[in-house]
Structure 1
Amino acid sequence: MAALQALLTRFVPPSAPGDGYRAVKDHTELLEGASPEPAGRQSPRLLSTTPSGVARSAALFVLGVLAASVVWGLALSRPPSLDKAERAFQAAKAGMYDDLDAQHSKGEPRARAYGPRPRRPVTWREGFKTPGPKELLQGEAPGTSLYESLRPDLRYLIGDAWSGLTGQFLTSISLIYLAQRTQRIAVVPSPWRDDEHYFNTFAKMGDLFDLNKFREQTGTLVLELSDVKRFDLDHKTTEREQIGCFKGNNFADSGRTFDAFNLDASSWPIRRLDWWANDATEAFILFDMDDDLRQNKTASFAAEENRTVPRNMRDSQLLCIGNLWSLTELAAWRAGWGAHNYLVADGRQEEKGGMAEMLSPEHHGTHPGEPPFILTYLDFRPEIWDVALFAARKTLGVVDLPRDLLTVHIRRGDFVTWCPSGHDCVPPLSDYEAAVASQLSHLPRGTAVLATTDDTSADFLASIRALGWYAVDHAALGTEALLVTRYGEREHGWYGSAVDQAIHSIGSAFVGTEDSQVSLVAALRVAAWSGGRAQMVKRPK
């Protein structure tokens, strides 16, 4: 079996096309036959009903032959474009060192860790291992029913999400954090789905971020919805199930993922507290912990609105919050500082006095509750790092990335027209230049500036380079073609966005764009992972 798995890994790309969860090109193509079936775990109990040892052996032999056929079928049917892109990427990585100036060392880069700071795994406790899907669910999960996959003796927290990669990421880590605070198992809405930024495609959170490493190092109990119930976009292979969700803290309470699992969610706008703190983190915790309060308010609302209380709202096993987006603790909410208004990286310390100069970057700013823990330890997948580090090294023309590096995120795209006037809504490059100069004053002389942007026109990239900065161009590097062919998504989709975010995180300081969730999270990562400063370039109002 190990040899078979190794052979499969040799020929199949990191996210197999048949798993039904990788980024799907678009809704229509999926419905027309792009293999929507999930990659559910096959339980050994499927073989335990074989009536005799002889029959069991025969069944295993037949399965082995079929598996070998599948492997060779996949190998032979693998798209030539994918092989070409993979070969080009590996060749570029191998040849990159020969193309560098003689001043740089030859051979493989020196080992250096990127991402979260190392943490001693919770598995150091003798005999303890953080439970995963197998232990946290029952039956043949993922199954055809959400409720039947849940263990009756455990408590779960679930929610939906929408927006692009960072919006869904913030929603998911808020859900994980709230589950930790209320001693529940987080069921994040994955695969994430978006029809505004990524052409109605899907991507699993676990394909972009290393959830297994996060579990092992932190002891966090977290599942993806795809672990619990089968992915069923056309509603043909699973049960249609009702689920009641208390309104979250987002102005838009709907999401994009539940429907792909044949879940019919209803929103229940019941106030947790009858005062301004209704959407603060503490209000969600109190509402969860006080069963009588929650049940009474739900019954009263159902009577007033002539509604039937859904199955999950009748007890405390499965609590659903419609859309959390980003939690903010009580004090920060009262002061008006939090992720909900993008001021989390600036912080009240900037207002007056000398506190800003006294605090290290990781303690600077009014952070919401979840980033200090979850953002600190939730890393990107190795496959994302592989592409990100290659792109950074190739763009900078170095083998070993410099220890001091200023990363920049220049957001344009839909921001160009996103303001009251509808035009001239993005800051000019001169504003970024001023912010970069300010940050460079805190860094060693000669620190390089590495920028990413969603405006990949030749003229705009040239204008960035004219400032003496380096600009990542995934099209020229070949990394865009690699991601498109490897994961089946369009240009700069889920995986491309994750790669850029990994690039941002390697900076020892960061400059971003005001109101951008990508910049917001990058600033928090640089502070948590490198102790680096961050500055947001203000947008025209």
Structure 2
Amino acid sequence: MHEDAESLLAHHPPQKHSAWARYTSIASKRRFLVAVFSFATVSFLALGFLRSPWTDQRSFTPILDPQTSTNSSTPTVALVDPHGPEANLIGAPTAHFRDNLRNDRKYITSWISAGWTNDVMTYINLIYLAMITDRIPVIPMFTPSHIGGAVPPIDFGLVFDVPRLRKALNIPVLEWHEVKDRASNEVEEIGCWNTWEAVQKNEHYPRRSHVPDHLKLDISYTKAPSWIKTIPNFDGDVHSSFWALAALAFPETRAENLVLPLESPTNHLLLPPDEHMLCYDYLYFTCANQPYEMEFDYSPAWRFVGQHLHWSPTIEQLANQYLRRSIGIAEDRPTPPASPWIAIHVRRGDFKVFCGEETTGCYASLEVIARRVEEVKAELLQRKGIMVEHVIMTSDERNATWWEEVKGHGWYGVDHSQTADVLGPWYPVLIDAAIQSLGVGFVGTDKSTMSNLARRRVESWTDGATRIYKWGTPNADDH
């Protein structure tokens, strides 16, 4: 039988001024501070787009955080969202996150450590794990893994519609900035589960992430048991099981699997996994039945969470604005359903590592992709009576000749020549991802998680037609 934390510590008696003793002292002196959180409204100057293959000389002002004005004098009554922060926290964001947690609630959180689309999938997994453990998910920000570390993080709720998600799931969903004052410099200790060392043998430390640094958390990790691994004793995969991780959220299994934790890096404390704010180092590689199962239609994380994670009104409005600009629809005209479109996502840049120096025959040709587009058009016409004229290409390809060939197919591109300057570095990828997912059809790149999520969204949101093209060899997509 496994020892509990107290027994383990008895076998490893603390030395003078031990980390455990310091933790006890610190915990007994915890202060309760309430900080007033203020919001700053950022306004952008209207800038005209420079000439590009996709625009003309008309001015174009992307809209960020559009406001709806009203002249009504009728007083409005603010309703408390039972699944929002008002009902699930003590009050406004506090300098110490613990001071804002209700004793009659239990919470769960985790960190991201991959590219942006994979980080979205990580947070989907976090919310699903919260559902099956009956806890409140507390979601951190997105960090700029794909656009450079100097770029500030962006809130989850600026990208996705959190109130809509709460309503769809009928559970509370919180963001970290609603719990802890984002201006706080107070470093707080917490114990978390280390899943990363339990599923792979090459890195002998918890999964690294910049998120705890932003949240000012000093973490003492406890290595999870090896039985969380989905495929035992298989070095070729690093997935863990949702229900195995969920078991560690409950008192009996937790107690049976406590081992001596690692010291926290700042205050050198030894803390068991927190029971009030349960946390895991990394949840991207998590599944119910098989690795990478969000590629499959039965995926519970997608069915019960992901499909309900819609874009924020700002991102959706920006996507429609950029789309209208691309295909020449007046900016005061609605986009769908009057002008349905098929989106394409071609991922090439970083996939070169799978091709070597010679990419000819490795990347799929535009003719291969065009065949898939025609399949989608035919299915939409046959199944839904929709005739699609507009096809929008999104890609990380930078070759001008390739883009001229795209135009030769009668397809449109999205002009981001000023997007980063006007809106910020996050917005090109956010707008592209929204455009990919809001149409009636989609064609994407095999092995790309960005394509896979766009495909899932189109299938869930518009009952659209989708295809994924193969690549890697000259005849990879023959069918």
**TM-score scaled to structure 2, two decimals?**
0.71
Q: Distance in 2 between matches of 1:250 and 1:325?
A: 12
Equivalent residues in 2 for 1:342-421, closer than 5 Å: 344=295, 365-398=296-329, 399-401=333-335, 403=337, 404-415=340-351, 417-419=352-354, 421=356
Match of 1:238 among 186, 191, 194: 186
Match of 2:84 in 1: 132
The structure 1 residue matched to 2:224, chosen from 258, 270, 284, is 270
Q: Tell me which of 281, 287, 301 is aligned to 2:248.
A: 287
1:446–1:172 CA distance, 2 compared to 1 (3 A): closer
Deviation per residue, 1:338-388 (Å, 9 max, x gap): 13xxxx1xxxxxxxxxxxxxxxxxxxx434212123222222111112211
Contact preservation (8 Å) 2:207, 2:282: yes
Distance 1:272 1:320 in 2: 17
Q: Which residue of 1 aligns with 2:447?
A: 515
Deviations 1:183-232 (A, max 9, x none): 10101122x11244344421111111111222234322111122222336
Overall identity of the aligned pairs, in %: 24
Name the stretch that deviates more: 167-176 or 239-248.
239-248
Native 8 Å contact 1:165 1:497 kept in 2: no
Distance 1:193 1:274, change over 3 A: closer
Report the counterpart of residue 85 of structure 1 in structure 2: 47
Q: Does structure 1 conserve the Cα–Cα contact (< 8 Å) formed by 2:35 and 2:95?
A: no
1:394 Cα deviation after fit? 1.8
Find the aligned partners of 1:173 and 1:459 in 2 and give their Cα distance: 38
Instruction: Note the 1:130-529 alignment, pairs <5 A.
Output: 130-138=82-90, 141-190=92-141, 192-201=142-151, 202-231=153-182, 237-247=185-195, 253-271=207-225, 273=227, 276=230, 279-289=240-250, 291-299=251-259, 310-311=270-271, 313=273, 316-325=275-284, 327-330=286-289, 333=290, 338-339=293-294, 344=295, 365-398=296-329, 399-401=333-335, 403=337, 404-415=340-351, 417-419=352-354, 421=356, 423-424=358-359, 426-444=363-381, 445-475=387-417, 480-481=418-419, 483-486=420-423, 489-490=424-425, 494-529=426-461
Code of the aligned partner of 2:443: V
The aligned length equals 388
- The separation in 2 between residues aligned to 1:452 and 1:410, in whole angstroms, is 6
CA distance in 1, matches of 2:395, 2:230: 38
Q: Could you tell me how far 1:463 is from its partner in structure 2?
A: 1.5
Deviations 1:248-295 (CA, angstroms, capped at 9, x unpaired) = 698682222111121123443322637745712222223323x22222
The residue that corresponds to 1:15 in the other structure is none
* Cα distance between partner residues in 2 of 1:527 and 1:436: 15
- Deviation sequence 1:305-327 (CA, Å, 0-9, x none): xxx985462x6322111111154
Question: For residues 491-513 of structure 1, what are the alpha-carbon distances to aligned partners after superposition, in whole Å with 9 as ceiling and x for unaligned?
Answer: xxx22211111111122121111
Q: Please identify which structure carries the higher helix content.
A: 1
RMSD: 3.5
Q: 1:310 to 1:172 in 2, by over 3 A?
A: farther
CA offsets 1:370-425 (integer angstroms, 9 cap, x no match) = 2123222222111112211011112122344354421111112322x221635526
User: 1:407, 1:507 within 8 Å by CA — same for their partners in 2?
Assistant: yes
When residues 222 and 275 of structure 1 are mapped into structure 2, their CA distance, relative to the original with a 3 A threshold, is: closer
How big is the shift at 1:163? 2.4
Q: Residues 189 and 258 of structure 1 are in contact (CA less than 8 Å); yes or no, is this contact kept in structure 2?
A: no
Query: Does structure 2 retain, via aligned residues, the 8 Å contact 1:159–1:245?
Result: no
1:299 is paired with a residue of what secondary structure?
coil
User: Does the residue aligned with 1:441 lie in a helix, a strand or coil?
Assistant: helix
On the 8 A contact 1:270/1:301 being kept in 2, the answer is no
Quick one: distance in 2 between partners of 1:474 and 1:193? 21
- Residues 530 and 413 (structure 1 numbering): CA distance in 2 closer, same or farther, change over 3 Å? same
Mind listing any 5+ residue stretches in structure 2 that lack a counterpart? Answer: 1-33, 62-78, 201-205, 233-239, 382-386, 474-479
Q: Deviations over 1:452-499 (max 9, x none)?
A: 112255333212111121222222xxxx34x5334xx33xxx222111
Residues 108-127 of structure 1 mapped to structure 2, 5 A cutoff: none
